[in-house]
Structures are given as C-alpha cells and as structure tokens.
C-alpha cells in the first residue's frame, strides 16, 4: 500500500441520510476525565427495552436504511442490548455499538457478526501510559484484549481516538497498533467542550483543546499513515479552507441525538443545554418549543459554526483586519481517506 496517493476528501452531508445516535443509558463503569455525559441534562435512567424499541420505531424508515449508533454511558451495561440490536436490524437500521471495550453481558456470545454492522472501541492512547491516565487504570489492557477477541470472532471492528492536548503527540503511534490489532476502520475525533471537559476548562484545571497549527500538523499526516496501512480513516474537518462553503448539519442533514430523559438534539454541541429541538413524551416525538438549537442553525457568521463561537470563543483567532483566521466547520463534517482496495462501509 505504501507510496499510493491517498488524499483526504471531505464527506459532504448527503441528502436523505439519517443518523440516529441513541444513548440507552448514562451509567458507565468508567470515569474518563473528558466524559461528555451530563446526567443533569441527559437523565440517569436505563431505558427499559420496550421503551427503547418504541423510540427506535419513531426514527425508523421502512423504505430506507438509517444508521443507528447505540451509546451510553456504556451501552453494553444494558442487559437487553443483544435483543435491541436484533430489533433495530429488523427495522432497517445499520447498527453500530460504541463501547469503552469492557463488553458486559457477554455481548460477543449473544450477537453474531452478521447481526451487528460495527462494534466500535474507544481508546485514547497507543499504550497504557497514555490511555490509562485519561480513561482509567487497566483500561488499555481490557479494551485491547476484547478488541482482539472481537476481531478473532469476525466482527467488523472500528476504533475511536479522541484527540486532546493530552494525547495528540502520541496519535502517530496509532496506525501501527491498529494494524497489529487487525482494526480496519479508524475514527479520529476532536475533544468537545462538553460534560466534564467543559467543567474542567472553566475551572482552568486543564486546557484540553489543541491549537489549530498542532491539529493541522498532526491529524491529516497520521490519517494518511493509517490509510497507507490499508485502514479506512475518518476525521473531523474542523478548519475550512478559503474556498470551502460552510454548512450547518442542523439545516441540511438528519442527525438525531437521543437521551434517556427524552431530549432529542440535532447538534451535539448543544447537549449541555436545554436547547433540544425535540422531546419524546409518551412515546411520541414532539417539538420542544422555545429558544432552541434550530434558531442558532440559521445564523450566518464569519466564524462558521455559531455554537462553537458561543461555547469556545477564546479558541477563535482573528487577523488584524478583524476577520477570523479560520472558519470553523460544523463538528459533524468529516474528511475520510479510503484505501483503494476498500469501499466505504460505515456511516460514522
């Protein structure tokens, strides 16, 4: 594979594509330092199976496949996850489970690779010395052991690495690890200031975010190195070039972020605030009236994403003439590099 001209392309929002991110519960066995879950805003219950299935029906389309990502907290803590996966498949969802790698309730024994489109593992470092101070003692070992088991059983496995100031310098070691583990799909994410990372930033305990130059020097280069090893890589766009159009996914795409308290957001950056567009009450999807996220989606500003400007204005640099140095893309806009031998096969 080495030496091929593998360049990143921006994955524009596709009309008609629907992505449903369903948090089945907010409980988790871990306590990651950057955890974005906010029980005060998202609820603390584990949704019963019957409720999960009713809510899935609200977003399913009989005529067309939709992408479903089952999340928590830790979704494998849900005792009925295997049945939920099978029910979702019967409703024409392509199903991904995003796990921290602990795989409770014998998930690998209770579903088959044919029943689950992707099993995604989160790891924030190429070794325990980098990962475990962020995600917890012993987590690297458990996560990579279970990942190897899943690969061995034939599951489609992907890995998510959340880039922050604590681990960006170690990102370049991930492609070799992924190749060794047999992972063929790699998602690089940018840390969002939500949940715990927002609290810590506001208390000035830690600066999580990565400066633009550091991001641009590291992330595209590592993505290409992973693609050179035959790995399909997706990473956020973040900074728009001068000729690139800004689009807010809230205006042009169908993304739903569902929480156990019934809040349904269209923008993940809004999740710490009661700005949700929709709510589920008595198993019905209703508009949430008032000052909501969709009022923000319609604002055109030179900085690009309005929610980014509201939440983290200190990260926007300005030129002497007052124009922003970079326009910030929608956080849902991705770039990808697909090795030529592989076709695109995962929505996230």
Q: Provide the binding-site residues for ligand SF4, judged by CB under 6 A.
A: 28, 30-32, 35, 37, 72-74, 100, 248-250, 267, 269, 296-297, 305-308, 330-332
User: Token pair for residue 165?
Assistant: 């100031």
Q: How far is the CB of 224 from ligand SF4 (least distance, A)?
A: 25
Q: How far is the CB of 198 from ligand SF4 (least distance, A)?
A: 13
Q: How far is the CB of 106 from ligand SF4 (least distance, A)?
A: 19
Q: Which is nearer to ligand SF4, 188 or 305 (CB)?
A: 305
Q: Which is nearer to ligand SF4, 271 or 338 (CB)?
A: 271
Is residue 164 exposed (0-12), middle (13-18) or buried (19+ Cβ within 10 Å)? buried
Q: How far is the CB of 320 from ligand SF4 (least distance, A)?
A: 26
Helix axes 174-181, 139-152, angle to 10 degrees: 40
Are the beta carbons of 175 and 232 closer than 8 angstroms?
no
Q: DSSP per residue over 232-267, as a string?
A: EEEEE--EE-TTPPP--HHHH-EEEEE-TTSEEES-
Are the beta carbons of 24 and 70 closer than 8 angstroms?
yes
Q: Which is nearer to ligand SF4, 159 or 331 (CB)?
A: 331
Give the residue ranges of DSSP H helices in the chain. 39-42, 49-59, 81-90, 107-110, 128-135, 139-152, 174-181, 195-202, 212-228, 249-252, 293-297, 306-311
Question: Which phi and psi (to 5°) does residue 257 adopt?
Answer: -115, 110
Distance (Å, whole) CA 58 – CA 285: 7
Q: Which is nearer to ligand SF4, 252 or 286 (CB)?
A: 252
Q: How far is the CB of 123 from ligand SF4 (least distance, A)?
A: 11
Are the beta carbons of 234 and 187 closer than 8 angstroms?
yes
Q: Which is nearer to ligand SF4, 54 or 312 (CB)?
A: 312
Question: Phi-psi category of 208—alpha, beta or left, where left has phi over 0 and alpha has psi -120 to 50?
Answer: alpha
Q: Which is nearer to ligand SF4, 171 or 275 (CB)?
A: 275
Q: Which is nearer to ligand SF4, 119 or 225 (CB)?
A: 119
Q: How far is the CB of 67 from ligand SF4 (least distance, A)?
A: 17
Q: How far is the CB of 101 from ligand SF4 (least distance, A)?
A: 8
* Cis status of the peptide bond prior to 73, with omega within 30 of 0: yes
Q: How far is the CB of 268 from ligand SF4 (least distance, A)?
A: 7
For residue 198, how many C-alpha atoms fall within 13 Å in the half-sphere facing its CB? 16
Q: Which is nearer to ligand SF4, 139 or 280 (CB)?
A: 139
């Amino acid at each position: 594979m080495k030496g091929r001209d593998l360049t990143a392309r921006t994955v524009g929002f596709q009309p008609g594509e629907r992505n449903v991110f369903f948090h089945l519960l907010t409980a988790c066995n871990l306590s990651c330092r950057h955890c974005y879950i906010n029980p005060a805003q998202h609820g603390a219950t584990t949704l019963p199976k019957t409720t999960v299935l009713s809510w899935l029906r609200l977003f399913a389309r009989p005529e067309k496949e939709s992408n479903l990502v089952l999340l928590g907290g830790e979704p494998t803590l849900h005792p009925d996850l295997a049945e939920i996966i099978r029910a979702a498949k019967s409703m024409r969802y392509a199903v991904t489970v995003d796990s921290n790698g602990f795989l409770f309730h014998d998930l690998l024994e209770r579903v088959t690779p044919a029943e689950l489109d992707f099993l995604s593992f989160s790891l924030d470092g190429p070794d325990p010395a980098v990962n475990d101070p962020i995600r917890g003692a012993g987590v690297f070992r458990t996560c990579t052991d279970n990942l190897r088991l899943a690969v061995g059983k034939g599951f489609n496995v992907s890995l998510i690495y959340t880039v922050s100031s604590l681990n960006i310098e170690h990102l370049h070691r991930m492609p070799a690890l992924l190749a060794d583990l047999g992972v063929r799909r790699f998602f690089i994410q940018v840390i969002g200031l939500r949940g715990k990372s927002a609290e810590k930033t506001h208390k000035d305990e830690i600066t999580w975010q990565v400066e633009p130059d550091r991001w641009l020097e590291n992330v595209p280069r590592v993505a290409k190195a992973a693609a050179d090893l035959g790995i399909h890589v997706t990473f956020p766009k973040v900074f728009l070039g001068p000729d690139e159009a800004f689009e807010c996914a809230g205006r042009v795409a169908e993304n739903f972020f569902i929480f156990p308290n019934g809040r349904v957001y269209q923008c993940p950056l809004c999740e710490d605030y009661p700005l949700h567009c929709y709510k589920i009450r008595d198993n019905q999807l209703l508009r949430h009236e008032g000052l909501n996220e969709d009022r923000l989606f319609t604002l055109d500003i030179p900085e690009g994403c309005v929610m980014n400007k509201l939440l983290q204005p200190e990260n926007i640099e300005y030129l002497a003439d007052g124009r922003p140095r970079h326009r910030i893309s929608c956080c849902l806009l991705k770039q990808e590099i697909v090795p030529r031998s592989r076709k695109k096969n995962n929505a996230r």
